Structure 1
Amino acid sequence: MNSNSEIKDLLQKFVLNQCTPEETNEVIAYYKKNKLTDDFPSVEDIQNLLGEMPKMSPQKADDIFMNILTSSKENETTIDIAPKKSHFKKYIAIAASVVVLLGIGFFYKQNIQNKTIQPKFDFKSTDIVLQLENGKVQIIHEDNSVQVLDSKGNVVGNQSGNKLVYENNSDLEKVSYNTIKIPYGKKFQLQLSDRTLVHLNSGTTLKYPVKFIAGENRQVFLDGEAFFDVAKDKKHPFIVNADNLNVRVLGTHFNVSNYPEDAATDVVLVEGSVGMYNSNEDFNADKNTILKPGYKGSFNKENASIMTKPVITDIYTSWINGGLTFRNMTFKNIITKLERRYNVTIINKNEKLANEKFNASFKEESIENVMSYFNDIHGINYTIKNNQILIK
């Protein structure tokens, strides 16, 4: 185990009690070699606990493990580890914490809803989920209407059909956030308190203020894809945070695509002007990248560089009206986007296809027609059964 990824993979197997005897011995050896303190259970204690625990689904255990791993990474700076030594001690501490949490959960009626662990949103569900500022969850049905309340019971928004509209008449004096999560196969519209209209694509999460506060920037946080029609307000810049990228505007129309499988976050400007800059920096109009209408800016997630080029903007915004576009995209990424768009499962057994790149554009087509195109043009054989597609 020479890399952190190998350590993490082996620890995950260990927590799930899936290690071979040889792998278990390897974990024990590393633990004894890098033991931190007596605050964490011994490996023998962990093994005994694992042996007593009921069987847990690998997916649930994996989700819990990754949540704790993420939480631990966010607080890394508080962990005192001597330089030039293995990071394994940090991961073994995480593993021990995971096992203790799992054990407590099962021994007390499987109550694993600890405040430090937020359940992952199942994007393959059929529900649009709204998480309120107090942590409560509200389900949104497109064939229904519902009011959104703040923590004091005041109405701050109204949903009707596939649109949720926030009011600007609440008495909030500090920023509080709602988060909306759009599952695979669906789209949704959101009107913010400043009348900015946001079109949300499938598999997207947007965190936004219930009300924008005077004197502060209008900032939202995006994972996925959205088209923003930003209300003009020169005194309050509108900022979209997409992980390590900030997009800053005053009032304009633009599209941001920030899906995890993509190597770059793309910003396509339809109208107005936007600035692109690293989220850990302050905006500087003289130094940062400024997009002009008809241009796409691509923020490389690996090296934080930004490239711009002229594009046909309709291609990148066609999803709002049901369109689907792939530009020089690997087939494995196309599969991910098809799964998200149509809420299907695609199994690709033709490994040679995975890294081949394709260009294709569709209007509002069914998944059957999209797959038929790939078969007719590129000779890709497949079968469809229920919501599962098998590529041979």
Structure 2
Amino acid sequence: MNSNSEIKSLLQKFVLNQCTPDEVNEVVAYYKKNQLTVDFPTVEDIQNLLGEMPKMDKKTADDIFKNILSASKEENTVIEMPQRKSNFRKYISIAASIVVLLGIGFFYKQSLSTKTAVKEFDFKSTDIVLQLENGETQILSEQNSAQVKDEKGNIIGNQNGDKLVYENSSDPEKLVYNTIKIPYGKKFRLQLSDGTFVHLNSGTTLKYPVKFIAGENRQVFLDGEAFFDVAKDKKHPFIVNADELNVRVLGTHFNVSNYHEDASTDVVLVEGSVGMYESKEEFDAAKNTILKPGFKGTFNKENAKISTKAVITDIYTSWINGGLTFRNMTFKNIITKLERRYNVTIVNKNEKLANEKFNASFKEESIENVMSYFNEIHGINYTIKNNQILIK
């Protein structure tokens, strides 16, 4: 770290708990070497940075900062006072900043680890992670088999390879949820306790009850993309909550794509009937949008409007069998889908490409073959190195 801009950039990452282990060591080593000889941020600067943490509310940030200041009082008193009065305020501020910066990572992790460990799941990891109701996590390996147990040690599910099947034997008094997270580059299959079968695409999170309760709706929560083959049960509607949108069925086959970076949530109906409505509302068959087979319903996240159109459903469900299809899709959106599908990082330096639209279909192709196609047909130049693709 030689320039002030590099120092400030790294300090901000440190305060926001975004540093890699190597970068943390670099920050600590830098402080040890330079201590009272450089212009560090003040305590007020640190407070401002804390206020910018995107996933931390103000009260939590204030509580953490108070703990840091409280814990750092003794350390501040042992710092030697400078000889010149004119530098007194600056040195005290610097000393406090050092203690605060080196303490924030610890207090931040200690006070929020139980709340954010799963929320901050790294989709570029290689692990499929299952979170139980009590917060404990279990790694699911596609090469192995495993049992899923509740907090009492009872077996509630069995995993074999890329499929997890839940038992339907227990009769719980309240809903107990599990959450599964699928990283980039992988897919997974899930059979819920009612027999509903779910195909989960890469970069997807699904929260669902271990066992559905009689007399209540069968509701699950989706962030990402999944294909549902819902077990028929007229007495218990099956509802997929996709943030601001609810998708309600009694028993059918349909696909839901609800990635947070997309401007819309798409529902494609293969068979049966699907109702679409805002999650803050109650379902009303007379007022809400009802999809017919062969149609796609699009929920615009910005204005909450729902539109429908006839589509070829195979285009939207081919991913289940390894297919990859783009229809009138901008290149920047194609990049996002390729990153999820193949767990790669794509850097596009050809800005003119970003908003150009393309049509393409692939079966089970490697990322090398996909990029080769774009190069041969559309003249897109690129290089691939260490799982990173650079488009020139």
Task: Please give the range of the TM-score, normalised by the shorter of the 2 chains.
Answer: 0.7 to 0.9
Tell me what 2:302 maps to: 302
Measured after TM superposition, the shift of residue 173 of structure 1 is 1.2
Shift of the 107–378 alpha-carbon distance from structure 1 to 2, 3 Å rule, reads closer
Equivalent residue number for residue 155 of structure 2: 155
| TM-score in terms of structure 2 length | 0.77
Give the structure 1 partner of residue 32 of structure 2: none
Query: 2 CA distance for matches of 1:380 and 1:182?
Result: 30
Q: Is the 8 A contact 1:46 1:99 kept in 2?
A: no
- In 1, the alpha carbon distance for the partners of 2:124 and 2:140 equals 15
1:115 deviation in Å?
3.6
Q: Following TM superposition, by how much is the alpha carbon of 1:353 offset from its aligned partner in structure 2, in angstroms?
A: 1.0
Larger Rg: 2
- Percent identical among aligned pairs is 76
Counterparts of 2:302 and 2:391 in 1: how far apart (Å)? 31
1:304-361 CA distances to partner (integer Å, 9 max, x unpaired)? Answer: 1111111111111000000011122111111111000001111111111112121211
Matched, 1:67 2:55: yes
The amino acid that maps onto 1:117 is T
Shift of 1:108: 6.4
Unaligned regions of 5+ residues in structure 2, if any? 1-11, 18-40, 69-99
* Deviations 1:75-127, CA, capped at 9 Å, x for gaps: xxxxxxxxxxxxxxx6xx77655656785554669645444434500000000
Q: Which residue of 1 aligns with 2:277?
A: 277
Residues 174 and 109 from structure 1, CA distance in 2 versus in 1: closer, same or farther, beyond 3 angstroms?
Answer: closer
The alpha carbon displacement at 1:186 in A equals 0.4
Task: Provide the secondary structure at the position in 2 that maps to 1:66.
Answer: coil
Alpha-carbon distance change, 234 to 142 in structure 1, aligned in 2, over 3 angstroms: same
**For the structure 1 residues 109 and 361, does the alpha-carbon distance in structure 2 shift closer, same or farther, using more than 3 Å as the test?**
closer
How many residues align? The count is 325
Give 1:117's aligned residue: 116
Which runs of structure 2 are paired with 1:1-392 in the superposition (5 Å)? 45-47=43-45, 65-68=53-56, 72=57, 96=62, 103=100, 104-106=103-105, 111=110, 113-119=112-118, 120-392=120-392
Is the contact made by 2:14 and 2:105 (CA closer than 8 Å) also made in structure 1? no
Deviations 1:152-172 (A, max 9, x none): 111000000100000011131
Name the counterpart of 1:31. Answer: none
Q: Secondary structure at the match of 1:390?
A: strand
Q: Secondary structure of 1:67's partner? A: coil
Distance 1:107 1:308, change over 3 A: closer
Secondary structure of residue in 1 paired with 2:318: helix
- Once the 2 structures are TM-superposed, how far is the Cα of residue 270 of structure 1 from its aligned partner? 0.4
Q: Provide closer, same or farther for how the CA distance between residues 196 and 125 of structure 1 changes in structure 2, counting only shifts above 3 A.
A: same
Q: Is contact 2:15-2:105 (8 Å) kept? A: no
* Structure 1 counterpart of 2:240, one-letter code: V
Aligned residues of 2:241 and 2:247 also touching (Cα < 8 A): yes
Q: Find the residue that maps to 1:231 and give its secondary structure.
A: coil
| Alpha-carbon shift at residue 303 of structure 1 (Å) | 0.6
RMSD (Å) for aligned C-alpha atoms? 2.8
Query: Normalising to structure 1: TM-score of the pair?
Result: 0.77
Distance 2:257 2:136 in 1: 28
Partner amino acid, structure 2, of 1:391: I
Taking structure 1 as reference, are residues 101 and 283 closer, same or farther at Cα in structure 2, changes over 3 Å only? farther
